[in-house]
């Protein structure tokens, strides 16, 4: 069973992300949720996860800083981080990839794009 951490300050967005993952085949996943990067790091100190999906714009700690913190941690470095953002454009995507994001998805989520990411980039299904 996969353990997935979903990080977004919107409970509606978190629910939509879960539904998208379920539709794409992660029906047996266990989902953990955080409202911002700070909460996500607190969870990651205690829990092991297979995948982090994070929004960019959040209070307290945004997705850029969360990504940097995960990728600078020897314990967390190998955890794939997928950034979901309404700011998706070539420049933002290049910056996020440079910061070692596994994938960058645009909002609203596209089921084919989520499925492709899970299958091709993360080999989760």
The pLDDT value given to residue 92: 82
What would the mean pLDDT of 51-78 be, rounded to a whole number?
Answer: 95
Count up the domains in the chain and report the number: 1
Query: Whole-number mean pLDDT of the chain?
Result: 92
Task: Tell me which of 117 and 89 has the higher pLDDT.
Answer: 117
What are the pLDDT digits (tens) for 21-44?
A: 999 988 788 999 999 999 999 999
Taking Cα atoms as reference points, which of 72, 58, 69, 79 lies closest to residue 5? 79
Range of the domain at 15: 3-121
Strand order in the sheet with 51-55: 30-34, 3-7, 51-55, 81-85, 103-106
What's the chain look like in SS3?
Answer: CCEEEEECCCHHHHHHHHHHHHHCCCCCCEEEEECCHHHHHHHHHHCCCCEEEEECCCCCCCHHHHHHHHHCCCCCCCCCEEEEECCCCHHHHHHHHHCCCCEEEECCCCHHHHHHHHHHHCCCC
What would the mean pLDDT of 58-68 be, rounded to a whole number?
Answer: 95
What are the pLDDT digits (tens) for 92-114?
A: 888 888 999 999 999 889 999 99
Taking Cα atoms as reference points, which of 106, 110, 109, 119 lies closest to residue 26? 119
Token code pair at residue 94? 């290049």
> CATH number for the domain including 110?
3.40.50.2300
Token code pair at residue 82? 């997928």
Say what percent of the chain tops pLDDT 90: 74
Residue 69 pLDDT more than 70? yes
């Amino acid at each position: 069973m996969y353990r997935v951490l979903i990080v977004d300050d919107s409970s509606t967005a978190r629910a939509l992300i879960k539904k998208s993952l379920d539709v794409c085949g992660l029906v047996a996943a266990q989902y953990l949720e955080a409202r911002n990067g700070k909460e996500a790091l607190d969870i990651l100190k205690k829990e092991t996860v297979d995948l982090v999906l994070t929004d960019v714009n959040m209070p307290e700690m945004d997705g850029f800083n969360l990504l940097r913190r995960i990728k600078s941690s020897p314990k967390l470095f190998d955890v794939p981080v997928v950034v979901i953002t309404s700011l998706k454009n070539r420049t933002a995507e290049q910056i996020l990839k440079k910061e070692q994001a596994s994938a960058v998805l645009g909002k609203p989520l596209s089921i084919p794009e989520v499925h492709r990411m899970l299958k091709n980039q993360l080999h989760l299904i």
